[in-house]
């Protein structure tokens, strides 16, 4: 390295002649690179030795690997930043070589200072800045667009927000409609729409008062429209959806906010295949030092945004006066996926997401109301009579039903 004009001060030459083992670095990708390039039985930095096999790689090659990641994100300040001696020098964030290594979180767990010093010397007596410092990096632009989206629909305009506003959205941020389309395109690219096979079990917990017994599908299912008066994570008041979980314990945790109430869980089984947007199994993030082959189509910045976006969707919202406001962004995103998004030219049936109440738990919102619940002939007759309906009328409403209550269980009884 060091033959080109752009990085003429940077050179791996100070590292030549040294060997280093994987244990001298904390980053998994650097460790993997070292293990695949070992040619020495001794590490010059931690003193580790092996009589039987090579354990250390040439430090100059390790530096080249590290620098490949650094130059993807950073460049020389002299090539990119303005200079004004009266204003203190470079106009923008910048770092010297040692500060740059610290800023990217390079971990050297066994270092007494020598390894860090050599790596900084390889970078040279340079000042560094982010690449294209006067524009946002792609993941920063996307995250900023999401934060702007959330702020806008919470506090500025909740309806007709899809239309671009000249003054507000003439910036690097994506307009709300463009952001939603980007999210839809990204989840399709990463094949996050997956099949919920026929026969899958979904658990739905309900609270109840002492002496109250829940037994029918209607008892365990979503409420009728007139009783959907509270906002939920994915649906505003008045919009009915079916909330459930992959485990009984998760379903209980999602609703257990009053110890004076009993809890029962209904187990529903799907009677047909369904498709859900699965936000619980994202492709892993790429490490900072991880190199991608030229054939890779993974956009590391879009993937980083996707992880941060999903985390914000599942973030815990504390009950209180702001609950109906803080849920608005997830409600809007859910509505878009329910009505506008297409996977292979078809709509989807729901969204799977990580539970905010039980670590590791997974929850589901299915785009289903009580007419999607399967009723037995006896239940049909009883409910029709209770609601003063003709059986044929109720039966017609349940023609496309696909969620069948197969089990009931009391989790907590109260006297």
* DSSP line for 360-371: T-EEEEES--GG
Quick check: 266 and 215 in contact, CB under 8 A? no
Q: Cβ neighbours of residue 53 under 8 Å, at least 6 residues apart?
A: 38, 41
Quick check: 218 and 311 in contact, CB under 8 A? no
In degrees rounded to 5, what are phi and psi of residue 189? Answer: -60, -40
Look at strands 274-278 and 350-354 and give their pairing.
parallel
Quick check: 164 and 152 in contact, CB under 8 A? no
The pLDDT tens digits of the residues spanning 280-294 come to: 999 999 999 999 888
| Mean of pLDDT over the chain | 91
Question: SS3 of 140, please?
Answer: helix
In degrees rounded to 5, what are phi and psi of residue 227? Answer: -105, 5
The pLDDT value recorded for residue 319 is 63
Q: Is 360 left (phi over 0), alpha (psi -120 to 50) or beta?
A: left
Q: Which two tokens stand for residue 152?
A: 């806008």
Q: H or E segment at 265?
A: strand 262-270
Is residue 284 exposed (0-12), middle (13-18) or buried (19+ Cβ within 10 Å)? exposed
Bridge partner list, 49 = 42
Average pLDDT over residues 393-414: 95
**Torsion angle, alpha carbons of 98, 116, 29, 55, to 10:** 170
Residue 168 in this model has a pLDDT that exceeds 60: no
- Closest residue by Cα to residue 227 from 376, 357, 369: 369
The pLDDT value recorded for residue 167 is 44
Rg of the chain, C-alpha, whole Å: 28
The pLDDT tens digits of the residues spanning 332-345 come to: 999 999 999 999 99
The pLDDT tens digits of the residues spanning 195-219 come to: 999 999 999 999 999 989 899 999 9
Percent residues over pLDDT 90 in the chain: 75
Q: H or E segment at 262?
A: strand 262-270
The pLDDT tens digits of the residues spanning 297-319 come to: 889 999 999 999 998 887 776 66
- Using CA atoms, how far apart are residues 380 and 398, in angstroms rounded to an integer? 9
Average pLDDT over residues 63-73: 96
pTM of full prediction above 0.75: yes
- Is the Cα torsion angle 141, 146, 152, 155 positive or negative in sign? negative
Question: Where does the pLDDT of residue 2 fall: very low under 50, low under 70, confident under 90, or very high at 90 and above?
Answer: very low
- Closest residue by Cα to residue 160 from 173, 147, 177: 177
Quick check: 367 and 241 in contact, CB under 8 A? yes
Long-range contacts of 379-388 (CB under 8 A, 24+ apart): 379/216, 379/217, 382/216, 383/216, 383/218
Residue 3 in this model has a pLDDT that exceeds 60: no
- Using CA atoms, how far apart are residues 303 and 315, in angstroms rounded to an integer? 18
Question: Where does the pLDDT of residue 85 fall: very low under 50, low under 70, confident under 90, or very high at 90 and above?
Answer: confident
Please state, as a whole number, how many other Cβ atoms lie within 10 Å of the Cβ of residue 125. Answer: 10
Q: Cβ neighbours of residue 132 under 8 Å, at least 6 residues apart?
A: 80
């Amino acid at each position: 390295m060091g033959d080109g004009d752009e990085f003429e001060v940077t050179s791996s030459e100070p590292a030549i002649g040294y060997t280093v083992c994987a244990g001298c670095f904390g980053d998994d990708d650097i460790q993997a690179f070292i293990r695949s390039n070992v040619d020495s039985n001794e590490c010059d930095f931690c003193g580790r030795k092996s009589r039987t096999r090579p354990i250390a790689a040439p430090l100059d090659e390790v530096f080249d690997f590290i620098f490949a990641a650094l130059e993807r994100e950073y460049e020389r300040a002299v090539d990119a930043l303005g200079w004004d001696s009266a204003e203190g020098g470079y106009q923008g964030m910048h770092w010297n070589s040692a500060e740059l290594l610290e800023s990217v979180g390079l971990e050297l767990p066994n270092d007494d200072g020598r390894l860090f010093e050599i790596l900084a010397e390889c970078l040279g007596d340079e000042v560094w800045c982010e690449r294209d410092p006067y524009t946002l990096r792609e993941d920063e632009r996307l995250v900023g667009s999401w934060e702007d989206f959330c702020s806008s629909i919470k506090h500025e305009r909740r309806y007709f927000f899809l239309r671009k506003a000249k003054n507000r959205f003439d910036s690097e941020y994506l307009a709300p409609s463009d952001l939603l389309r980007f999210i839809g395109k990204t989840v399709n690219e990463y094949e996050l729409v997956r099949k919920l096979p026929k026969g899958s079990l979904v658990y739905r917990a309900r609270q109840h008062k002492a002496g109250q017994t829940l037994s029918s599908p209607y008892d365990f299912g979503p409420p009728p429209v007139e009783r959907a008066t509270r906002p939920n994570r994915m649906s505003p008041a008045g919009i009915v959806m079916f909330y459930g979980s992959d485990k009984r314990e998760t379903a209980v945790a999602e609703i257990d906010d009053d110890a004076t109430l009993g809890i029962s869980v209904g187990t529903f089984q799907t009677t047909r295949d369904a498709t859900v947007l699965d936000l619980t199994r994202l492709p892993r993030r790429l490490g900072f030092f991880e190199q991608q082959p030229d054939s890779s189509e993974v956009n590391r910045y879009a993937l980083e945004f996707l992880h941060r976006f999903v985390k914000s969707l599942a973030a815990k919202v504390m009950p209180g006066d702001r609950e109906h406001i803080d849920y608005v962004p997830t409600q809007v995103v859910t509505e878009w996926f329910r009505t506008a998004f297409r996977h292979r030219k078809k709509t989807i049936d729901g969204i799977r997401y990580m539970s905010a109440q039980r670590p590791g738990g997974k929850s589901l919102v299915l785009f289903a109301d009580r007419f999607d619940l399967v009723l037995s002939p006896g239940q049909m007759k009883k409910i029709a009579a209770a609601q003063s309906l003709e059986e044929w009328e109720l039966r017609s409403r349940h023609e496309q039903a696909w969620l069948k209550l197969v089990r009931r269980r009391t989790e907590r009884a109260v006297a």
